[in-house]
Amino acid sequence: GAVVSQHPSRVICKSGTSVKIECRSLDFQATTMFWYRQFPKKSLMLMATSNEGSKATYEQGVEKDKFLINHASLTLSTLTVTSAHPEDSSFYICSATGTSYGYTFGSGTRLTVV
């Protein structure tokens, strides 16, 4: 089946620094990737949608300058949290979809900003 690898699974960073999270589709070409944020015991909140080679489309209220998304190839998308602050601490999850209609999720990244 389709596999999406997300890395790192956990990261702790100092306030003011930037953190990059990678999302890779291992066995299929991901034409579209999605980035979600999830707070404890809450549902997934879509942050942005990215198509390979295009600028990401951000959901209302998501700061595009803080959450930089790059989808440079059909197998890799990255989310960079710039100038991270404690309120950015959260669980970030990517998902990918290819030519068939289905979504595969990564295993998530727990970001803690101290």
Partner 1 sequence: QQQVKQSPQSLIVQKGGISIINCAYENTAFDYFPWYQQFPGKGPALLIAIRPDVSEKKEGRFTISFNKSAKQFSLHIMDSQPGDSATYFCAAGGSNYKLTFGKGTLLTVNP
Residue ranges in contact with partner 1 by CB under 8 A: 6, 32, 34, 41-44, 46, 49, 91, 93, 95, 97, 101-108, 110
Q: For residue 50, give both structure tokens.
A: 């990215």
- Cβ burial of 35 (10 Å; 0-12, 13-18, 19+) is buried
Nearer of residues 37 and 67 to partner 1, judged by Cβ: 37
Comparison of 34 and 67: residue with beta carbon closer to partner 1 = 34
For residue 104, give the DSSP letter. E
Smallest distance from partner 1 to CB 16, Å: 26
Alpha-carbon torsion 72, 107, 37, 105, what sign? positive
Token pair for residue 100? 């068939």
Q: How far is the CB of 44 from partner 1 (least distance, A)?
A: 5
Q: How far is the CB of 97 from partner 1 (least distance, A)?
A: 6
Between 75 and 97, whose beta carbon lies closer to partner 1?
97
DSSP state of 59: P
